Amino acid sequence: MAPKERNLNALLGRGATYEGDLSFEGRVRVDGVFRGRIYTDAVLEVGESGVIDGEVDAHNLIVAGRVEGKVRVRGVLTLEPTGCIHGEIDAAQLVSKEGAKLRATVLVGQ
């Protein structure tokens, strides 16, 4: 990963809750609760304490927390061992690590 990709452009911290639509440039991390639609042309990370309920559209998505709803990933969706996704997934590539939970309709590589 290039150093530029490691820089965090936005953070929804643990204990914070947000409802609505958000669009970001660059790397975004959710450790709190987000309800709504979220979009980024770069990387969206859902930390272990993070919850997203709604729609996600990201270039790359890393899930260590919980996502419920529609997920669109134009690059790589990585589901960490503590990650959980319930809903619909449309991803170019999917990496699911041992222990991850997935209850979804999944389209990969379409």
Better pLDDT: 48 or 10: 48
Q: Where are the domains of the chain?
A: 3-108
pLDDT per position as a tens digit, 53-86: 999 999 999 999 999 999 999 999 999 999 999 9
- Based on C-alpha coordinates, what's the Rg of the chain? 12
**Predicted local distance difference test score (pLDDT) of residue 3:** 41
Kindly tell me if the per-residue pLDDT of 6 is higher than 90.
no
> End-to-end alpha-carbon separation of the chain, Å?
25
* 8 A C-beta contact, residue 38 and residue 55: yes
pTM of the predicted structure, to 2 decimals: 0.91
Amino acid (one-letter) located at 51: V
